[in-house]
Structure 1
Amino acid sequence: MTREALTIDALLVGPVALLPDGRSRSGIHKLPAHDARWLSATGLDGDSQADLRIHGGVEKAVHHYPREHYAGWASWSRRADLLASPGAFGENVSTTGWDESNVCIGDVVRLGEALVQVSQGRQPCWKLDVRFGETGMAREMQARGCTGWYYRTLEPGWVRSGAQAVRVERPHPDWPLSRLIALLFARDERFAPEWERAAELPALAQRWRDTFARRVAARRVEDWEPRLSVPPQDA
């Protein structure tokens, strides 16, 4: 059974900054917020994203990443410095006890004083490779399915490290994020009936619903390379 309440181990925010390649800008570099931060419809006060076409917005107001995934990453990555504390993956919320297997799409959570809802998983991109200096980081996250998840804000409010995250409603108990993430990253056309079901989930972010619906209509999976491959230097 999912624990219904957890402590927020860390709340993290950060500005847009250059990545280590010196040419790419990202909001992935997060630092602990030691005071309470206001969570609005579009995110935490003091937090920023570089490309608002892809990151941020009402369906990605907050990114939550399970701290327990770090142990697995430590055996894959050389970057012990980044993995020594929460924030390595650009998350806003770090906890221990919830992961993609026991969090469901549409779960409503009291996050501090704010009320949020799980809206979608994460689709990792090449900026993870650049941040860690390790080719294939985004592909590995996709393969493992340990992507974390995003919340949409239902009721704005104050959030701080040490506050409680409490699950208060579960409208889709048959749809853990692990199921949705596996479907999103499945290329086999035999999953088309499941894609069709996923496209009808009312709590799922519209972009994910549209992706599943396009697959069903086209009978093929979209090209992931632009998202996963680091652009060439002259791009």
Structure 2
Amino acid sequence: MIVKSVNIGERKEINYKGKIVTTGIFKQPVNKAIFLGKEDVENDAVIDRRYHGGIEKAVYAYSENHYAYWKELYPNLDWHYGMFGENLTITNLEETQIFVGSQYKLGETILEVTKPREPCSKLGIVFGTQKVVKQFWNSTKSGVYFKVLQTGNVKTGDALVLLKKAENTPSISAVYETKK
């Protein structure tokens, strides 16, 4: 598993259906290392800390492999890494093979798997339809939240290397299935 893209977003206010919505979901790839802190990614906007950021959701990763599935459903979007609000786009990140509590080395950091992402209306804003939220829920393509055990920089090309597989814990996809 290799980092294909590192992505950060700025705080944005958009008019959605007549309401002003503030969000940090619009992430863009950057051509430099990003710093993963204990509660968030440095210089990345986290708007609603009830649902984003914090110890258990410090960094969000999404599989590059999942993009093909979504591109088939939404071929007319202007596709780029970071579309799902992920900080890290990683090759071969498979939720059925990633277990809660497992620890990984990535760049200068050590990460621990915590939970799947639960989609919200902001994803629908990115895709131009709230239909995508239900489609996201009905897939196993949730992405993975990590806790940062050791802070540091991560860049494109870094490998996500398993340090310690958690024993007797569910996979991210199994946890996600229970949320439906």
Question: TM-score, normalization: structure 1?
Answer: 0.72
Higher strand share: 2
The 8 Å contact of residues 7 and 164 in structure 1, kept in 2 or not, is answered as: yes
Query: Quick one: structure 1 residues 64 and 20, their matched pair in 2 at CA, closer, same or farther if it must change by over 3 Å?
Result: farther
Instruction: Give the structure 2 partner of residue 98 of structure 1.
Output: 93
4+ runs deviating over 4 angstroms: none
Whose RCO is larger (CA < 8 A, sep 6+)?
2
Q: How many Å separate the matches in 2 of 1:7 and 1:20? A: 36
State the Cα RMSD in Å. Answer: 1.5
SS of residue paired to 1:75: helix
The 8 Å contact of residues 20 and 130 in structure 1, kept in 2 or not, is answered as: no
Q: How many Å separate the matches in 1 of 2:167 and 2:10? A: 34
The residue type paired with residue 41 of structure 2 is L
Higher helix share: 1
Structure 1 residue 174, shift from structure 2 partner: 5.2
Instruction: Give the structure 2 partner of residue 133 of structure 1.
Output: 128
SS of residue paired to 2:69: helix
Q: Which whole-Å deviations, capped at 9, do the CAs of 1:116-140 have from their partners, x for residues lacking one? A: 1011001101111112111311111
Instruction: Give the structure 1 partner of residue 144 of structure 2.
Output: 149
- Picking from 23, 47, 51, the partner of 1:50 is 47
Instruction: Give the structure 2 partner of residue 118 of structure 1.
Output: 113
Structure 1 residue 78, shift from structure 2 partner: 4.3
Q: Show structure 2 runs of 5+ residues with no match.
A: none
Q: Which whole-Å deviations, capped at 9, do the CAs of 1:2-46 have from their partners, x for residues lacking one? A: xxxx22110111111124626111110111121222211012211
Instruction: Give the structure 1 partner of residue 62 of structure 2.
Output: 65
Question: TM-score, normalization: structure 2?
Answer: 0.92
Query: Quick one: structure 1 residues 67 and 20, their matched pair in 2 at CA, closer, same or farther if it must change by over 3 Å?
Result: farther
Q: Show structure 1 runs of 5+ residues with no match.
A: 1-5, 186-235
The 8 Å contact of residues 64 and 93 in structure 1, kept in 2 or not, is answered as: yes
